[in-house]
């Protein structure tokens, strides 16, 4: 039996990167999976891949920066399947800004995608779980940078640190409803989005990934499929009673000094 047999899983930001890896892992674990994204092409391509492999999947077009679209993504899943059992908030905005050069517009963009969207998706998903008096699970993909981060990630860090607080607050509020809510602080990860970010903001060349990997303790960046397997574990009953945990999934140790 799969860890998520017959579960209905919504992966927000699931059309690429870590979210797409979570969708693939959830289908392998037996779940029915819906993925959201702003652009239909990658979302529909992923759904075609998953269904061709024998899974059940659907694409929901949604911009998670819009609170109403965040809520409606959950509503569409509930309409399709009658319920939602698991939610993964994997959408993220990583555009650069320091304390001194971040504009109000850039700050608002980060809050919208990295905090407000997850808030209202969680609101809708947990409301369905509580309304049915059924257990459920939520995993928020956060970032190890939320502990402080680089100077050029000021608005990103501010929003993601807020998501840590939200994760713990919501977990505490709904533990008696048997709704478990946890977060994953992922480190530097090898995704399509990271490749684009390195090229756009840091002038990276074609060999940036190999050079970056050589500077890391494990000799590689975080891998989306490895993160995805951990997310599936947290979504499943195999993770037991754990709730309100924000786990550092990184090869750098907080507080460790050389």
Calpha distance 42→32 (Å, rounded):
18
Give me the pLDDT at residue 85, please. Answer: 98
* Domain 8-187+222-246 architecture: 3-Layer(aba) Sandwich (3.40)
What are the residue ranges spanned by the domains of the chain?
A: 8-187+222-246
Calpha distance 237→211 (Å, rounded):
39
Give me the pLDDT at residue 221, please. Answer: 86
Q: CA 209 → CA 72, 186, 197, 225, distances in Å?
A: 37, 17, 12, 17
Q: CA 256 → CA 198, 233, 253, distances in Å?
A: 26, 27, 5
Q: Count, in order, helices (H) and strands (E) of the chain.
A: 9, 7
Give me the pLDDT at residue 130, please. Answer: 98
Contact (CB, 8 A) for 87 and 138: yes
- Residue 101: pLDDT above 90? yes
- Residue 188: pLDDT above 80? no
- pTM for the model stands at 0.93
Mind telling me the catalytic residues? 156
Task: Compare 235 and 207 and report the one with higher pLDDT.
Answer: 235
Least confident of 26-40, 47-61, 177-191: 177-191
**Mean pLDDT throughout 244-258?**
91
Contact (CB, 8 A) for 173 and 126: no
The torsion angles phi and psi of 155, rounded to 5 degrees, stand at -70, -30
- Residue 195: pLDDT above 80? no
Beta strands 179-186 and 246-249 are parallel
Calpha distance 153→150 (Å, rounded):
6
Calpha distance 245→164 (Å, rounded):
9
Calpha distance 61→150 (Å, rounded):
32
Give me the pLDDT at residue 43, please. Answer: 95
For the stretch 138-147, pLDDT in tens is 999 999 999 9
């Amino acid at each position: 039996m799969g860890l998520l047999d017959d579960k209905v899983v919504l992966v927000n930001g699931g059309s690429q990167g870590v979210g797409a890896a979570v969708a693939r892992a959830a289908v392998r674990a037996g779940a029915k999976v819906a993925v959201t994204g702003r652009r239909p092409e990658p979302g529909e391509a992923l759904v075609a891949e998953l269904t061709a492999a024998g899974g059940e999947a659907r694409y929901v077009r949604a911009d998670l920066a819009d609170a109403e679209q965040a809520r409606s993504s959950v509503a569409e899943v509930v309409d399709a399947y009658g319920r939602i059992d698991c939610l993964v908030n994997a959408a993220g905005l990583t555009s650069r800004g320091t304390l001194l050069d971040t504009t109000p517009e850039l700050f608002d963009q980060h809050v919208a995608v990295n905090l407000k969207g997850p808030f209202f998706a969680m609101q809708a998903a947990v409301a369905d779980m509580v309304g049915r008096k059924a257990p459920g699970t939520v995993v928020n993909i956060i970032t190890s940078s939320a502990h402080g981060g680089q100077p050029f990630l000021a608005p990103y860090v501010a929003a993601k640190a807020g998501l840590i607080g939200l994760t713990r607050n919501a977990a505490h509020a709904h533990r008696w409803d048997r709704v478990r809510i946890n977060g994953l602080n992922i480190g530097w990860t090898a995704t399509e989005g990271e490749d684009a970010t390195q090229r756009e903001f840091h002038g990276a060349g074609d060999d940036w990934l190999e050079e970056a990997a050589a500077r890391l303790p494990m000799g590689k960046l975080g891998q989306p499929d490895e993160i995805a397997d951990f997310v599936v574990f947290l979504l499943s009953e195999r993770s037991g009673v754990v709730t309100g945990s924000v786990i550092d999934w990184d090869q750098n140790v907080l507080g460790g000094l050389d």
